[in-house]
């Protein structure tokens, strides 16, 4: 049982800084996903927790024990790699058992443990096969099995699903989540895919350029994004962003469009910020921006539509801007139609134009 | 032209394929297959280059079987193989394994190891010959005598001469094998080693259970390649024992040198051809045997 605490973790490659002080507390049994675009430092963070990368400064503790100078094997962790790292010349049984080589268990106990893990992952009949005879999803399960066999305190996953096709990815996502519920160990999972992050995580850590942008539950990061970056990174298609000007409870946009904020009350700090710098970026999720037959807030021409079955994405030209909105799946507009778009005033997000931080 | 136009695309492709293949085909038949076939025929004949070729039946092979020199040479050839291949592979693997981890002046050190491979075997053999000379000329014996160790007869001793000739041959091939080994080592994904580090297995286990098995294709290639090289050893021996090629008392003589001797000193072409056929069979059997022993059992059809 172990929590993981990162305290002001910094990493430099030579003179190039890649992590600028990461603070994170992962509690015991929690499923935390590190997500961000490539080069944001998420994998580096994970590899520092694993002990595969040196720590420039700061501290990593696992289970209330500082592990900065411990070898990976002494940290009681297991890691699943993007390319699985299962050995092609060994059978599945040997691959899974590889993690038990240094354990002091008897041979019979080791075999017993391998069989247990194989049963848990539904791989018993594959134990004598070589990785070359397995499908991508099965290989992934072998890699997970090898991680499980030692019963580590913490599981580290480094983009384990990105080599799988879309359908298999969805399936493995569920399997890993079920596994977490059953085994109850701490999991730190790295991905660049926000859907994976949203669907699997207890808490999501969004990173960019070596900084943490936001830590929060999937609900929080989606509905209360800390800044513009998070707002656009989480959710697909990305949030619509328009520039505007705040004035007495109303937003003034280009082309004399005015949005009423419905008497929204801001914190004292936000209110003074708005008074001092009324320029804002207005964020609207495509899910919240509805195509309506009533007079809405925006009028535009449909440039193209993307039918998704249950609903339809509508790309509409509003003035010089393109907005993405949602229409019902059954009676969608067609390209060239004039449509009006509406949004509930409480669903509008405001960001500071200077630093992109959410104003609330 | 009408004939060509009436062909289907597939047939046209075949025509073009044969037009392009014609040049190498003619070349191979003329330069490779014809002489090879001729050598096989010649091994059943008597010929001294000037006379007519006369059929000799199995005479040459019978003579070879009863020739004590042939058996000495046959043994020497296998000693070159049995010592040369394992020693050179072990040495080059150890160097490559460690060089792979060296960052400091990596390219320069690698170039130094590769240098002997680019050097002419003749020049190299003569330099090593100088190393082996007795006091006061030879480098090694001078060094030994300066610390009070008695001289060693390298090239003049029937027991020492073969290893003394083999040493530069191994050294010369080392650079090539190191490069190939390093390429093989580089091709092994780093995550295998990282996974092993997390599992906490020892460096020895990592080497024997991960590195060496994954390096198997490289090892197979180098075993076969270097075996063929040592079975065909000639220039080092010839240049280091020019006074009496293959000497002293045939103790360093390999099969190729015997063939050369029979053909161009004895002008006994039929007999030399028979020896060549034996060499060919030896090379074929050894290579096939190695490939069979080291075949990939993992692959399923």
Task: Spell out the per-residue pLDDT of chain B, length 301, in tens.
Answer: 788 888 889 999 999 999 999 989 999 999 999 999 999 999 998 888 888 888 888 888 999 899 999 999 999 999 999 999 999 999 999 999 999 888 888 889 888 888 888 889 899 999 999 999 888 888 888 898 889 888 888 888 888 899 999 999 999 889 999 999 999 999 999 999 999 998 888 889 999 999 999 999 899 999 999 999 999 999 999 998 888 888 788 899 999 999 999 989 989 999 999 999 999 999 999 999 888 888 876 554 3
Tokens describing residue B181: 């080994």
State the smallest CA–CA distance between residue B210 and chain A in angstroms: 7
In chain B, which residues have their Cβ closer than 8 Å to the Cβ of A97? none
What is the SS3 assignment for A34?
A: strand
DSSP state of A357: B
Q: How far is CA B142 from CA B129, B130, B279, in A?
A: 14, 11, 39
Cβ contacts of A160 on chain B, cutoff 8 Å: none
CA distance B177 to B218: 10
- What is the DSSP secondary-structure string of B91-138? HHHHHHHHHTT--TTHHHHHHHHHHHHHS-HHHHHHHHHHHHSPTTT-
- Cβ distance A101 to B214 less than 8 Å, yes or no, reads no
DSSP string, A65-128: EE-TTS-GGGGTEEEE-TT----TTS-HHHHHHGGGTT----HHHHHHHHHHHHHHTT-GGGTT
Residues of A with CB under 8 A from a CB of B: 50-52, 71-74, 77-79, 81-83, 85, 87-90, 98-99, 101-102, 130, 132-133, 146, 150
Question: In Å, how far are A218, B115, B154 from A167, measured between CA atoms?
Answer: 22, 53, 71
Using the structure block, give the residue that is written with the tokens 């790699």.
Answer: A81
How many Å separate Cα A267 from the centre of its chain?
29
Cβ separation of B199 and A98 shorter than 8 Å? Answer: yes
Contact A174, A3 (CB under 8 A): no
- CA dihedral of A186, A192, A194, A198, whole degrees rounded to 10: -10
Q: What are phi and psi of A69, to 5 degrees?
A: -105, 20
Closest CA to A284 of A305, A294, A298: A298
The predicted structure's pLDDT at residue A164: 85
Distance CA B231, CA B81 (A): 6
For A303, the token pair is 């440039």
Beta-strand runs (E) in chain B: 45-46, 54-55
- Count of beta carbons in the 10 Å neighbourhood of residue A10: 16
Instruction: Name chain A contacts of B213, Cβ cutoff 8 Å.
Output: 87, 89
Give A175-231 as a DSSP string: HHHHHHHHH--EEEEEES-HHHHHHH-SEEEEEETTEEEEEE-HHHHHHS-SBHHHH
For chain A, state the CA radius of gyration.
24
Q: What are the residues whose beta carbons fall under 8 Å from the beta carbon of B270, sequence distance 6 or more?
A: B42, B43, B44, B45, B46, B47, B53, B56, B59, B60
Are the CB atoms for A283 and A240 separated by under 8 Å? yes
Q: In this complex, which of B191, B199, B205 lies closest to A81 when CB atoms are compared?
A: B191
Distances (CA, A) of A277 to A228, A247, B211: 17, 10, 62
Contact between chains at B199 and A71 (C-beta distance less than 8 A):
no
Please report the domains of chain A, with CATH numbers, ordered by start residue: 4-232 (3.40.50.300), 237-359 (2.40.50.140)
Q: Which residues contact A268 (CB under 8 A, 6 or more apart)?
A: none
Which of A89, A102, A132 is opposite residue B201, by nearest beta carbon?
A: A102
Q: Give the single-character DSSP code of A314.
A: E
- Cα(A96)–Cα(A85) distance, integer angstroms: 11
Can you give the pLDDT at residue B295? 80
Domains, in order of start, for chain B: 2-42 (no CATH), 67-293 (1.10.3720.10)
**Residue A133's closest CA among A166, A169, A92, A165?**
A92
Hey, are the CB atoms on A89 and B299 less than 8 Å from each other?
no
**Containing H/E element for B288?**
helix B269-293
Q: What is the dihedral sign for C-alpha A193, A194, A198, A201? A: positive
- Contact between B25 and B32 (Cβ < 8 Å): no
Between chains, do B191 and A85 touch, taking CB under 8 Å as contact?
yes
The residue ranges of chain A whose pLDDT is under 50 are none
Q: From the list A77, A90, A133, which residue is nearest B198 (CB)?
A: A77
pLDDT tens, A160-206? 888 888 888 898 899 899 989 988 899 999 999 999 999 999 999 99
How far is A170 from chain B, CA to nearest CA, in Å? Answer: 25
> In this complex, do B198 and A89 lie within 8 Å of one another by their Cβ atoms?
no
Q: How far apart are CA A288 and CA A259, in angstroms?
A: 14
Q: Centre a 10 Å sphere on the Cβ of residue B27 and count the other Cβ atoms it contains.
A: 10
Interface test with B, best of A50, A85, A143, A152 (most B CBs within 10 A): A85
Which residue in chain A has the smallest CA separation from B201? A102
In total, the C-beta contacts within 8 angstroms joining chain A to chain B are 67
Q: For residues A196 and A206, is the Cβ–Cβ distance under 8 A?
A: no
Determine whether A68 is exposed, middle or buried from the number of CB atoms within 10 Å of its CB (0-12, 13-18, 19+): middle
| Tokens coding A86 | 């299962």
Contact at CB, A132 and B194, closer than 8 angstroms: no
Would an 8 Å CB–CB cutoff place B217 in contact with chain A? no
Contact criterion met (CB < 8 Å) for B195 and A81: yes
d(CA B256, CA B247) in angstroms, rounded, equals 14
Query: Given CA atoms A21, A26, A206, A223 in this order, what sign does their dihedral have?
Result: negative
DSSP-based three-state secondary structure for A350:
strand
Residues of chain A neighbouring B298 (CB-CB closer than 8 A) = 88-89, 130, 132
Q: Using CA atoms, how far apart are residues A94 and A344, in angstroms rounded to an integer? A: 58
What are the chain A neighbours of B214 within 8 Å (beta carbons)?
87-89
Residues of B with CB below 8 A from A50's CB? 194, 198
Q: Which residues of B touch A72 (CB under 8 A)?
A: 194, 197-198, 200
What per-residue confidence (pLDDT) applies to B300?
42
- Scored b (16 or more CB within 10 A) or e, A238-256 reads ebbbbebebeeeebebeee
Q: What is the DSSP letter of B47?
A: -
């Amino acid at each position: 049982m172990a929590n993981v605490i990162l305290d002001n973790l910094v990493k430099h490659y030579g003179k190039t800084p890649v992590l600028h002080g990461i603070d994170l507390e992962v509690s015991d049994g929690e499923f935390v996903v590190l997500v961000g675009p490539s080069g944001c430092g998420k994998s580096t963070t994970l590899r520092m927790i694993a002990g595969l990368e040196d720590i420039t400064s700061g501290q990593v503790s696992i289970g209330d024990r500082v592990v900065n100078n411990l070898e990976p094997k002494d940290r009681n962790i297991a890691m699943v790699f993007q390319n699985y790292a299962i050995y092609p010349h060994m059978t599945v049984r040997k691959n899974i058992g590889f993690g038990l080589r240094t354990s002091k268990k008897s041979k019979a106990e080791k075999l017993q443990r391998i069989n247990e893990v194989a049963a848990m992952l539904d791989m018993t009949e594959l134990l004598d096969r070589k990785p070359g005879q397995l499908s991508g999803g099965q290989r992934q399960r072998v890699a997970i099995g090898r991680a499980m066999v030692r019963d580590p305190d913490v599981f580290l996953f480094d983009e384990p699903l990105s080599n799988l096709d879309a359908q298999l990815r969805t399936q493995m996502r569920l399997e890993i989540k079920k596994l977490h519920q059953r085994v109850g160990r701490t999991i730190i999972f790295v991905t660049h895919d926000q859907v994976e992050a949203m669907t699997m995580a207890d808490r999501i850590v969004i990173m960019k350029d070596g900084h943490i942008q936001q830590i929060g539950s999937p609900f929080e990061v989606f509905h209360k994004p800390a800044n513009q970056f998070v707002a656009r990174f989480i959710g697909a298609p990305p949030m619509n962003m328009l520039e505007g000007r705040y004035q007495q409870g109303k937003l003034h946009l280009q082309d004399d469009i005015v949005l009423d904020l419905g008497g929204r009350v801001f914190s004292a700090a936000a209110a003074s910020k708005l008074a001092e710098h009324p320029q804002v970026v207005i964020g609207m999720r495509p899910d919240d921006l509805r195509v309506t037959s009533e007079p809405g807030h925006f009028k535009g021409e449909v440039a193209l539509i993307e039918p998704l079955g249950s609903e339809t994405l509508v790309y509409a030209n509003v003035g010089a801007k393109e907005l993405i909105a949602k229409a019902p799946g059954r009676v969608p507009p067609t390209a060239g139609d004039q449509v009006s778009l509406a949004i509930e005033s409480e669903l509008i997000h405001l960001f500071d134009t200077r630093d992109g931080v959410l104003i609330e | 032209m009408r004939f060509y136009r009436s062909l289907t695309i597939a047939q046209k492709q075949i025509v073009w394929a044969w037009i392009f293949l014609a040049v190498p085909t003619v070349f191979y038949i003329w330069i490779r297959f014809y002489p090879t076939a001729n050598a096989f025929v010649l091994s059943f004949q008597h010929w001294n280059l000037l006379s007519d070729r006369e059929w000799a039946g199995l005479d040459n092979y019978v003579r070879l079987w009863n020739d004590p020199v042939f058996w000495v040479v046959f043994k020497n050839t296998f000693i070159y193989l049995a010592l040369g291949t394992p020693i050179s592979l072990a040495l080059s693997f150890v160097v490559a394994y460690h060089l792979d981890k060296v960052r400091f002046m990596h390219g320069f050190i690698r170039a130094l190891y590769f240098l002997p491979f680019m050097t002419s075997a003749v020049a190299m053999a003569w330099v090593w010959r100088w190393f082996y000379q007795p006091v006061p000329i030879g480098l090694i014996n001078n060094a030994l005598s300066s610390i009070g160790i008695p001289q060693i007869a390298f090239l003049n001793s029937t027991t020492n001469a073969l290893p003394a000739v083999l040493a530069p041959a191994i050294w010369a091939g080392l650079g090539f094998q190191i490069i190939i080994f390093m390429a093989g080592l580089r091709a092994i994904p780093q995550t295998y080693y990282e996974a092993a580090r997390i599992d906490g297995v020892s460096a020895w286990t990592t080497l024997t259970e991960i590195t060496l098995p994954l390096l198997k294709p490289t090892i197979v290639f180098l075993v076969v390649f270097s075996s063929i090289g040592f079975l065909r050893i000639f220039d080092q021996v010839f240049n280091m024992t020019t006074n009496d090629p293959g000497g002293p008392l045939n103790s360093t003589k390999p099969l190729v040198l015997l063939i050369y001797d029979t053909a161009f000193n004895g002008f006994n072409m039929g007999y030399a051809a028979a020896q060549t056929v034996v060499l060919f069979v030896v090379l074929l059997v050894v290579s096939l045997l190695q490939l069979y022993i080291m075949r990939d059992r993992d692959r399923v059809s």
